[in-house]
Amino acid sequence: MTVAEPDCISRFREFVRIKTVHPNPDYEASKQYLISQAKDIGLTYQVVECVKGKPIVILGLEGSDPSLQSIMLGSHIDVVPVFEVSFINIFKHIKLVEFWTYPPFAAERVPTEDGDFKIYGRGSQDMKCTSCMHLEALRKIVNSGTKLKRTVYAVLAPDEEIGGYDGVNLLVDTFEFKNLNVGFDLDEGMLAADERYSVSYSERINGQVRFTAHGNTGHGSQFIEGTAIEKLLPVINALMDRREIEKKKLAALNDGKTNLRSGESIAINLTQLGGGKQANVVPATFSAVFDIRITPLIDSNEFKNWIIELAHSYGVEYEFLHPKENKYISTLDRSNPFVDAFFASLAERNIIPIPIICPATSDCRHVRRTGIPVYGFVPIKNHQMLAHDHDEYVLESEFLNGIDIYVDVIIGLASV
Ligand SMILES: [Zn+2]
Protein backbone atom coordinates (compact mmCIF):
# COMPACT_ATOMS: atom_id res chain seq x y z
CA MET A 1 0.00 0.00 0.00
CA THR A 2 1.37 3.40 -0.86
CA VAL A 3 0.49 6.31 1.36
CA ALA A 4 -0.36 9.46 -0.54
CA GLU A 5 1.85 12.40 0.25
CA PRO A 6 -0.04 15.21 2.00
CA ASP A 7 -0.01 18.51 0.08
CA CYS A 8 1.55 20.34 3.02
CA ILE A 9 4.49 17.91 2.90
CA SER A 10 4.94 18.56 -0.84
CA ARG A 11 5.01 22.29 -0.14
CA PHE A 12 7.51 21.80 2.70
CA ARG A 13 9.75 19.70 0.45
CA GLU A 14 9.60 22.36 -2.24
CA PHE A 15 10.79 24.96 0.28
CA VAL A 16 13.66 22.73 1.50
CA ARG A 17 14.82 22.36 -2.13
CA ILE A 18 15.38 26.11 -2.42
CA LYS A 19 19.09 26.56 -1.77
CA THR A 20 19.09 29.34 0.79
CA VAL A 21 22.47 28.08 1.89
CA HIS A 22 25.38 30.26 2.93
CA PRO A 23 27.57 31.76 1.63
CA ASN A 24 25.36 32.46 -1.45
CA PRO A 25 21.75 31.89 -0.39
CA ASP A 26 19.12 32.04 -3.14
CA TYR A 27 16.91 34.58 -1.36
CA GLU A 28 15.20 35.58 -4.60
CA ALA A 29 13.80 32.07 -5.17
CA SER A 30 12.74 31.91 -1.54
CA LYS A 31 10.99 35.30 -1.80
CA GLN A 32 9.12 34.22 -4.93
CA TYR A 33 8.07 30.98 -3.25
CA LEU A 34 6.74 32.79 -0.18
CA ILE A 35 4.82 35.33 -2.26
CA SER A 36 3.22 32.48 -4.21
CA GLN A 37 2.26 30.88 -0.88
CA ALA A 38 0.70 34.14 0.31
CA LYS A 39 -1.41 34.36 -2.85
CA ASP A 40 -2.38 30.70 -2.61
CA ILE A 41 -3.43 30.89 1.05
CA GLY A 42 -4.98 34.33 0.77
CA LEU A 43 -2.57 36.32 2.92
CA THR A 44 -1.30 39.84 2.47
CA TYR A 45 2.40 40.16 1.77
CA GLN A 46 5.11 42.78 1.80
CA VAL A 47 8.83 42.62 1.26
CA VAL A 48 11.24 44.76 3.27
CA GLU A 49 14.82 44.92 2.04
CA CYS A 50 16.98 46.60 4.68
CA VAL A 51 20.04 45.46 2.72
CA LYS A 52 19.77 44.97 -1.02
CA GLY A 53 19.38 41.33 -1.99
CA LYS A 54 18.37 40.29 1.54
CA PRO A 55 14.57 40.37 1.51
CA ILE A 56 12.43 39.93 4.60
CA VAL A 57 9.04 38.60 3.57
CA ILE A 58 6.08 39.44 5.80
CA LEU A 59 2.83 37.55 5.25
CA GLY A 60 -0.27 38.76 7.06
CA LEU A 61 -3.65 37.42 8.07
CA GLU A 62 -5.71 40.43 9.02
CA GLY A 63 -7.76 40.22 12.20
CA SER A 64 -11.22 41.64 12.78
CA ASP A 65 -9.67 44.42 14.89
CA PRO A 66 -6.44 45.47 13.16
CA SER A 67 -5.96 48.29 15.66
CA LEU A 68 -4.95 45.73 18.32
CA GLN A 69 -1.35 44.62 18.77
CA SER A 70 -0.51 41.82 16.37
CA ILE A 71 1.00 38.36 16.78
CA MET A 72 4.29 37.67 15.01
CA LEU A 73 5.48 34.24 13.89
CA GLY A 74 9.19 34.66 13.34
CA SER A 75 11.49 32.34 11.42
CA HIS A 76 14.62 32.43 9.30
CA ILE A 77 14.90 31.11 5.78
CA ASP A 78 18.69 30.72 5.51
CA VAL A 79 20.55 27.50 6.27
CA VAL A 80 24.15 26.64 7.14
CA PRO A 81 26.54 25.05 4.63
CA VAL A 82 26.72 21.30 4.16
CA PHE A 83 29.68 18.98 4.05
CA GLU A 84 28.65 16.36 1.54
CA VAL A 85 31.88 14.49 1.00
CA SER A 86 35.39 14.37 2.30
CA PHE A 87 38.54 12.76 0.95
CA ILE A 88 40.51 10.94 3.60
CA ASN A 89 44.09 9.92 2.95
CA ILE A 90 44.76 6.56 4.60
CA PHE A 91 48.31 5.34 3.90
CA LYS A 92 48.23 6.96 0.46
CA HIS A 93 44.83 5.47 -0.36
CA ILE A 94 42.39 8.30 -1.02
CA LYS A 95 39.01 7.29 0.36
CA LEU A 96 35.80 9.13 -0.42
CA VAL A 97 33.53 9.54 2.59
CA GLU A 98 29.93 10.60 2.01
CA PHE A 99 28.28 12.32 4.98
CA TRP A 100 24.77 12.58 3.57
CA THR A 101 22.71 9.46 2.86
CA TYR A 102 20.43 11.58 0.64
CA PRO A 103 21.40 14.75 -1.21
CA PRO A 104 20.97 17.71 1.19
CA PHE A 105 18.77 19.75 -1.15
CA ALA A 106 16.67 16.96 -2.67
CA ALA A 107 14.18 16.84 0.23
CA GLU A 108 13.81 13.06 -0.10
CA ARG A 109 10.78 11.53 1.63
CA VAL A 110 11.95 8.23 3.06
CA PRO A 111 9.63 5.72 4.75
CA THR A 112 10.55 4.50 8.23
CA GLU A 113 9.95 1.02 9.63
CA ASP A 114 7.04 2.17 11.77
CA GLY A 115 5.07 3.69 8.90
CA ASP A 116 6.28 7.25 9.27
CA PHE A 117 8.42 9.25 6.84
CA LYS A 118 11.60 11.23 7.22
CA ILE A 119 12.04 14.37 5.15
CA TYR A 120 15.77 14.79 4.65
CA GLY A 121 17.44 18.08 3.85
CA ARG A 122 19.52 20.95 5.11
CA GLY A 123 17.16 23.25 6.95
CA SER A 124 14.48 20.60 7.46
CA GLN A 125 14.94 21.14 11.22
CA ASP A 126 16.71 24.52 11.32
CA MET A 127 14.30 25.99 10.62
CA LYS A 128 12.26 25.50 7.47
CA CYS A 129 9.96 23.08 9.30
CA THR A 130 8.89 25.95 11.56
CA SER A 131 8.44 28.41 8.67
CA CYS A 132 6.27 25.89 6.84
CA MET A 133 4.28 24.85 9.91
CA HIS A 134 3.52 28.54 10.52
CA LEU A 135 2.22 28.91 6.96
CA GLU A 136 0.29 25.62 7.04
CA ALA A 137 -1.33 26.62 10.33
CA LEU A 138 -2.43 29.93 8.79
CA ARG A 139 -3.71 28.02 5.76
CA LYS A 140 -5.80 25.77 8.00
CA ILE A 141 -7.21 28.75 9.89
CA VAL A 142 -8.16 30.50 6.64
CA ASN A 143 -9.68 27.34 5.17
CA SER A 144 -11.72 26.69 8.31
CA GLY A 145 -13.32 30.13 7.99
CA THR A 146 -12.20 31.12 11.49
CA LYS A 147 -11.92 34.89 11.80
CA LEU A 148 -9.17 35.95 14.19
CA LYS A 149 -9.48 39.06 16.33
CA ARG A 150 -5.84 40.10 16.09
CA THR A 151 -3.74 40.28 12.94
CA VAL A 152 -1.07 37.58 12.62
CA TYR A 153 2.17 38.10 10.69
CA ALA A 154 4.60 35.44 9.57
CA VAL A 155 7.97 37.19 9.30
CA LEU A 156 10.50 35.20 7.26
CA ALA A 157 13.99 36.62 7.53
CA PRO A 158 17.42 36.11 5.96
CA ASP A 159 20.88 35.83 7.51
CA GLU A 160 20.01 34.51 10.97
CA GLU A 161 22.77 31.93 10.65
CA ILE A 162 25.34 34.71 10.26
CA GLY A 163 24.03 36.81 13.14
CA GLY A 164 20.90 38.38 11.63
CA TYR A 165 22.67 41.74 11.46
CA ASP A 166 21.39 42.56 7.94
CA GLY A 167 18.03 40.90 8.63
CA VAL A 168 15.89 41.12 11.76
CA ASN A 169 18.46 43.33 13.48
CA LEU A 170 17.77 46.13 10.97
CA LEU A 171 14.13 45.24 10.40
CA VAL A 172 13.06 45.99 13.97
CA ASP A 173 14.07 49.64 13.59
CA THR A 174 12.14 50.20 10.36
CA PHE A 175 8.89 52.07 9.92
CA GLU A 176 7.43 48.96 8.27
CA PHE A 177 8.10 46.84 11.35
CA LYS A 178 6.77 49.45 13.80
CA ASN A 179 3.67 49.53 11.63
CA LEU A 180 3.08 45.84 12.34
CA ASN A 181 2.44 46.83 15.98
CA VAL A 182 3.67 43.47 17.26
CA GLY A 183 2.64 42.55 20.82
CA PHE A 184 3.99 39.01 20.99
CA ASP A 185 6.51 37.07 18.93
CA LEU A 186 6.55 33.28 18.66
CA ASP A 187 9.96 32.50 17.20
CA GLU A 188 12.75 29.96 16.79
CA GLY A 189 12.71 27.19 19.37
CA MET A 190 14.46 23.93 20.11
CA LEU A 191 13.20 20.53 19.00
CA ALA A 192 12.49 18.26 21.94
CA ALA A 193 14.74 15.23 22.35
CA ASP A 194 12.03 13.45 24.34
CA GLU A 195 8.39 14.04 25.32
CA ARG A 196 9.10 17.44 26.88
CA TYR A 197 8.55 20.50 24.71
CA SER A 198 10.46 23.60 25.68
CA VAL A 199 9.90 27.32 25.43
CA SER A 200 12.88 29.66 25.46
CA TYR A 201 12.43 33.07 27.07
CA SER A 202 16.01 34.31 26.86
CA GLU A 203 19.31 33.31 25.36
CA ARG A 204 23.00 33.25 26.17
CA ILE A 205 25.00 36.34 25.28
CA ASN A 206 27.78 36.13 22.75
CA GLY A 207 30.97 36.97 24.69
CA GLN A 208 33.48 35.93 22.01
CA VAL A 209 36.85 37.50 22.76
CA ARG A 210 40.23 37.75 21.04
CA PHE A 211 43.38 38.04 23.15
CA THR A 212 46.54 39.33 21.51
CA ALA A 213 49.95 39.29 23.19
CA HIS A 214 53.11 41.03 22.05
CA GLY A 215 56.56 40.12 23.32
CA ASN A 216 60.24 39.84 22.64
CA THR A 217 61.38 37.95 19.60
CA GLY A 218 64.63 36.26 18.69
CA HIS A 219 66.32 33.04 17.66
CA GLY A 220 64.43 29.89 18.64
CA SER A 221 67.63 28.35 20.06
CA GLN A 222 67.74 30.92 22.91
CA PHE A 223 65.75 31.40 26.12
CA ILE A 224 64.05 34.63 25.12
CA GLU A 225 62.38 36.38 28.06
CA GLY A 226 58.99 38.10 28.00
CA THR A 227 57.62 36.35 24.90
CA ALA A 228 54.10 36.77 23.58
CA ILE A 229 53.37 33.12 24.31
CA GLU A 230 54.51 33.47 27.94
CA LYS A 231 52.00 36.27 28.41
CA LEU A 232 49.17 34.54 26.59
CA LEU A 233 49.46 31.07 28.14
CA PRO A 234 48.31 32.00 31.68
CA VAL A 235 45.27 33.74 30.16
CA ILE A 236 44.45 30.61 28.16
CA ASN A 237 44.98 28.43 31.23
CA ALA A 238 42.70 30.58 33.38
CA LEU A 239 39.92 30.31 30.81
CA MET A 240 40.40 26.58 30.43
CA ASP A 241 40.19 26.24 34.24
CA ARG A 242 36.98 28.25 34.21
CA ARG A 243 35.73 25.99 31.40
CA GLU A 244 36.18 22.94 33.66
CA ILE A 245 34.23 24.63 36.46
CA GLU A 246 31.37 25.52 34.09
CA LYS A 247 31.36 22.02 32.61
CA LYS A 248 30.94 20.49 36.06
CA LYS A 249 28.19 22.98 36.92
CA LEU A 250 26.28 22.02 33.80
CA ALA A 251 26.75 18.30 34.39
CA ALA A 252 25.15 18.78 37.82
CA LEU A 253 22.17 20.59 36.22
CA ASN A 254 21.49 18.31 33.26
CA ASP A 255 19.83 14.95 33.45
CA GLY A 256 22.39 13.46 31.10
CA LYS A 257 20.08 12.84 28.17
CA THR A 258 19.07 16.32 27.07
CA ASN A 259 20.60 19.69 26.62
CA LEU A 260 17.71 21.60 28.15
CA ARG A 261 19.64 23.47 30.81
CA SER A 262 22.86 24.26 28.99
CA GLY A 263 21.76 27.91 28.64
CA GLU A 264 22.21 28.24 32.41
CA SER A 265 25.98 27.81 32.17
CA ILE A 266 28.84 29.73 30.54
CA ALA A 267 30.21 27.86 27.54
CA ILE A 268 33.91 28.44 26.90
CA ASN A 269 35.84 27.07 23.93
CA LEU A 270 39.24 27.95 22.55
CA THR A 271 38.47 28.16 18.83
CA GLN A 272 41.42 29.92 17.17
CA LEU A 273 45.14 30.21 17.86
CA GLY A 274 47.29 32.40 15.68
CA GLY A 275 50.93 33.44 15.41
CA GLY A 276 54.39 32.36 14.48
CA LYS A 277 55.91 32.38 11.02
CA GLN A 278 58.77 29.96 11.21
CA ALA A 279 59.90 27.20 13.59
CA ASN A 280 63.15 28.88 14.60
CA VAL A 281 61.77 32.38 15.23
CA VAL A 282 60.11 33.25 18.56
CA PRO A 283 56.91 35.01 17.50
CA ALA A 284 56.56 38.68 18.40
CA THR A 285 52.75 38.40 18.44
CA PHE A 286 50.38 35.59 19.29
CA SER A 287 46.59 35.53 19.59
CA ALA A 288 43.85 33.28 20.92
CA VAL A 289 40.12 33.48 20.25
CA PHE A 290 37.59 32.06 22.66
CA ASP A 291 33.96 31.44 21.83
CA ILE A 292 32.20 32.33 25.07
CA ARG A 293 28.44 32.17 25.63
CA ILE A 294 27.38 33.84 28.84
CA THR A 295 24.22 32.80 30.60
CA PRO A 296 21.81 35.72 31.17
CA LEU A 297 21.26 34.40 34.72
CA ILE A 298 24.51 36.02 35.86
CA ASP A 299 25.77 39.60 35.73
CA SER A 300 27.46 39.45 32.33
CA ASN A 301 29.40 42.67 33.00
CA GLU A 302 30.95 41.10 36.08
CA PHE A 303 32.12 38.17 33.96
CA LYS A 304 33.43 40.47 31.24
CA ASN A 305 35.30 42.49 33.87
CA TRP A 306 36.95 39.28 35.08
CA ILE A 307 38.18 38.73 31.51
CA ILE A 308 39.42 42.31 31.24
CA GLU A 309 41.31 42.05 34.53
CA LEU A 310 42.78 38.74 33.46
CA ALA A 311 44.08 40.29 30.24
CA HIS A 312 45.45 43.32 32.10
CA SER A 313 47.27 41.28 34.72
CA TYR A 314 49.32 39.50 32.05
CA GLY A 315 49.78 42.49 29.76
CA VAL A 316 47.60 41.03 27.02
CA GLU A 317 45.27 42.99 24.71
CA TYR A 318 41.63 41.93 24.54
CA GLU A 319 38.82 42.61 22.10
CA PHE A 320 35.23 41.50 22.51
CA LEU A 321 34.06 40.53 19.01
CA HIS A 322 30.43 41.49 19.65
CA PRO A 323 30.57 44.28 22.23
CA LYS A 324 27.01 45.43 21.58
CA GLU A 325 25.41 42.09 22.45
CA ASN A 326 23.26 42.40 25.53
CA LYS A 327 20.93 40.30 27.59
CA TYR A 328 17.17 40.34 27.21
CA ILE A 329 14.72 38.25 29.18
CA SER A 330 11.05 37.89 28.24
CA THR A 331 8.57 37.55 31.07
CA LEU A 332 7.06 34.21 32.03
CA ASP A 333 4.55 36.00 34.23
CA ARG A 334 1.07 34.86 33.29
CA SER A 335 -0.37 38.22 34.26
CA ASN A 336 0.76 39.11 30.73
CA PRO A 337 -2.34 38.08 28.76
CA PHE A 338 -0.35 36.80 25.75
CA VAL A 339 1.87 34.64 27.95
CA ASP A 340 -1.22 33.30 29.65
CA ALA A 341 -2.94 32.56 26.33
CA PHE A 342 0.15 30.78 25.02
CA PHE A 343 0.41 28.44 28.00
CA ALA A 344 -3.37 28.01 28.25
CA SER A 345 -3.74 26.93 24.61
CA LEU A 346 -1.01 24.33 25.09
CA ALA A 347 -2.47 23.15 28.39
CA GLU A 348 -5.67 22.24 26.51
CA ARG A 349 -3.52 19.59 24.83
CA ASN A 350 -1.84 18.65 28.12
CA ILE A 351 1.35 20.27 26.93
CA ILE A 352 3.39 22.05 29.60
CA PRO A 353 6.53 23.35 27.90
CA ILE A 354 9.66 23.67 30.03
CA PRO A 355 10.97 27.26 30.18
CA ILE A 356 14.60 27.28 29.06
CA ILE A 357 17.38 29.65 28.08
CA CYS A 358 18.42 29.12 24.48
CA PRO A 359 22.05 27.96 24.52
CA ALA A 360 22.94 29.88 21.34
CA THR A 361 21.85 33.20 19.88
CA SER A 362 19.00 33.62 17.40
CA ASP A 363 16.97 36.42 15.84
CA CYS A 364 14.86 36.43 19.02
CA ARG A 365 17.37 38.77 20.68
CA HIS A 366 16.91 41.46 18.01
CA VAL A 367 13.15 41.51 18.58
CA ARG A 368 13.54 41.36 22.38
CA ARG A 369 15.76 44.43 22.18
CA THR A 370 12.68 46.47 21.17
CA GLY A 371 10.79 45.38 24.28
CA ILE A 372 8.48 42.91 22.52
CA PRO A 373 8.22 39.63 24.47
CA VAL A 374 9.62 36.74 22.38
CA TYR A 375 9.30 33.01 22.95
CA GLY A 376 11.16 30.27 21.12
CA PHE A 377 8.86 27.33 20.54
CA VAL A 378 8.65 24.52 18.02
CA PRO A 379 6.09 21.75 18.53
CA ILE A 380 8.27 18.81 17.52
CA LYS A 381 9.15 16.15 20.06
CA ASN A 382 10.97 12.80 20.40
CA HIS A 383 13.38 13.92 17.78
CA GLN A 384 17.05 13.45 17.12
CA MET A 385 18.61 16.93 17.04
CA LEU A 386 20.48 17.41 13.79
CA ALA A 387 20.54 21.16 13.26
CA HIS A 388 23.79 22.04 11.42
CA ASP A 389 24.62 18.29 11.28
CA HIS A 390 24.80 15.74 8.46
CA ASP A 391 21.62 13.90 7.42
CA GLU A 392 19.31 16.52 8.93
CA TYR A 393 15.70 15.34 8.73
CA VAL A 394 12.30 15.91 10.24
CA LEU A 395 9.67 13.28 10.96
CA GLU A 396 6.54 13.78 8.88
CA SER A 397 4.19 12.77 11.73
CA GLU A 398 5.72 15.40 14.01
CA PHE A 399 5.48 18.04 11.29
CA LEU A 400 1.77 17.27 10.75
CA ASN A 401 1.05 17.22 14.49
CA GLY A 402 2.99 20.46 14.93
CA ILE A 403 0.72 22.28 12.46
CA ASP A 404 -2.32 21.46 14.59
CA ILE A 405 -0.56 22.63 17.75
CA TYR A 406 0.32 25.91 16.02
CA VAL A 407 -3.30 26.34 14.91
CA ASP A 408 -4.43 26.20 18.55
CA VAL A 409 -1.67 28.48 19.79
CA ILE A 410 -2.23 31.06 17.04
CA ILE A 411 -5.98 31.11 17.64
CA GLY A 412 -5.34 31.42 21.38
CA LEU A 413 -2.93 34.32 20.98
CA ALA A 414 -4.99 36.12 18.36
CA SER A 415 -8.06 35.91 20.59
CA VAL A 416 -6.47 37.80 23.50
ZN1 LIG B 1 18.07 28.36 13.23
Residue from 159, 160, 166, 264 carrying the catalytic annotation: 160
CA of 302 to the centre of ligand 1 (A): 29
Q: Residues comprising the binding site?
A: 76, 126, 161, 188, 388
Handedness of CA 184, 190, 194, 199 (dihedral sign): negative
pLDDT of residue 335: 95
What residues are neighbours of ligand 1 (ion), with CB under 5 Å? 126-127
Handedness of CA 179, 202, 204, 72 (dihedral sign): negative
This prediction's pTM: 0.91
Interatomic CA distance for residues 103 and 176, integer angstroms: 38
* Res 3 pLDDT > 90: no
pLDDT of residue 396: 97
- Write the single-letter amino acid at 269: N
pLDDT in tens, 337-395: 999 999 999 999 999 999 999 999 999 999 999 999 999 999 999 998 898 889 999 99
Over residues 274-285, the mean pLDDT reads 95
pLDDT in tens, 220-272: 999 999 999 999 999 999 999 999 999 999 988 876 667 789 999 999 999 99
- Write the single-letter amino acid at 373: P
Query: Is residue 78 annotated as part of the catalytic site, yes or no?
Result: yes
The CATH fold assigned to 7-203+327-414 is Aminopeptidase (3.40.630)
| Average pLDDT score, the chain | 95
* Res 28 pLDDT > 70: yes
Which one is predicted more confidently, 199 or 324? 199
CA of 371 to the centre of ligand 1 (A): 22
| Closest of 410, 346, 339 to residue 374, by C-alpha | 339
CA of 130 to the centre of ligand 1 (A): 10
Q: Where do the domains of the chain lie?
A: 7-203+327-414, 208-320
* Res 92 pLDDT > 80: no
Assess if CATH 3.30.70.360 describes domain 208-320. Answer: yes
